[in-house]
């Protein structure tokens, strides 16, 4: 029996305590048939990366509302690369100004979904990108 499930880590880096968005995303991904590992509030980039590696996820989704996204999100990408896991897809969500999005994308964050994004948009995004990744033999 062979069955591949998409595994996603949903994490909250930094110090804000608002996890409603993260939990909403986690549930919609579950309903889309994915296995979602939720690690809770106030995680450091290094603890997120350790969890992503041990759980062997395909995708890391970072929810952030504190304003520290320009520091924390690129740091997660950087640490994944340092630990030989640069192939793991990283996306972000939360209160992130339009003006910051190009900077984050330049630093390896594949996509940013701001509040109000319908769930089928990011479900489709994850499915397509993971598929592409698997096709490349990753």
Binding site for other proteins (CB under 8 A): 1-5, 7, 26-27, 29-40, 43, 46-47, 50-51, 53-56, 83-85
Residue matched to tokens 């990366």: 49
Beta carbon of residue 4, minimum distance to other proteins (angstroms, whole number): 5
The nearer residue to other proteins, 55 or 78, going by C-beta atoms, is 55
- 95 in helix, strand or coil? coil
Q: Which is nearer to other proteins, 106 or 136 (CB)?
A: 136
Nearer to other proteins, 31 or 120 (CB): 31
Rg over alpha carbons for the chain, rounded to the nearest Å, is 14
- State in angstroms the smallest separation of the CB of 68 from other proteins: 19
For other proteins, the closer CB: 100 or 133: 133
Taking the complex as a whole, how short is the minimal distance between the CB of residue 20 and other proteins, in angstroms?
15
Nearest to 12 by CA among 76, 101, 82: 76
Tell me the C-alpha distance between 33 and 9, whole Å.
Answer: 14
Tokens representing residue 59 in the block: 């995708």
Q: Which two tokens stand for residue 81?
A: 């690369």
CB of 85 to other proteins, least distance (A): 6
């Amino acid at each position: 029996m062979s069955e591949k499930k998409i595994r996603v880590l949903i994490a909250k880096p930094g110090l804000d305590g608002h996890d409603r968005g993260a939990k909403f995303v986690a549930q919609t991904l579950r309903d889309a048939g994915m296995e979602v590992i939720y690690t809770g509030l106030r995680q450091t980039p290094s603890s997120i990366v350790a969890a992503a590696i041990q759980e062997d996820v395909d995708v890391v989704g970072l929810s952030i509302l504190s304003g520290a996204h320009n520091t924390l999100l690129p740091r997660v990408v950087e640490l994944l690369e340092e630990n030989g896991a640069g192939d793991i897809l990283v996306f972000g969500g939360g209160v992130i100004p339009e003006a910051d999005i190009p900077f984050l994308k330049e630093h390896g964050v594949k996509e940013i979904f701001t509040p109000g994004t319908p769930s089928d948009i990011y479900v489709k995004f994850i499915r397509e990108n993971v598929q592409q990744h698997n096709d490349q033999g990753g």
